[in-house]
Amino acid sequence: MARTPDKTRTEELEREFVVPLRASKHQPARHRRAGHALQTVRRFMVRHMHGAPEKIWIDPRLNTYIWQWGAQHIPSKIRVKAIRFEDGLIEVDLAEES
List the 77-84 sheet strands across, edge first.
Answer: 13-20, 77-84, 90-94, 56-58
**φ, ψ for residue 7, nearest 5 deg:** -80, -25
Percent of all residues in the chain with a pLDDT value above 70, rounded to a whole number: 89
Q: Above 60 in pLDDT, residue 5? A: no
Region 26-51: mean pLDDT is: 94
pTM of the full predicted structure? 0.85
Could you tell me the domains of the chain? 13-94 (3.10.440.10)
Q: What is the DSSP string of 10-66?
A: -S-EEEEEEEE-GGGGTSS-GGGHHHHHHHHHHHHHHHHHT--GGGEEE-HHHHHHH
Q: CA 79 to CA 40: how far, in whole Å?
A: 13
Q: Which residues pair with 77 in a beta bridge?
A: 20
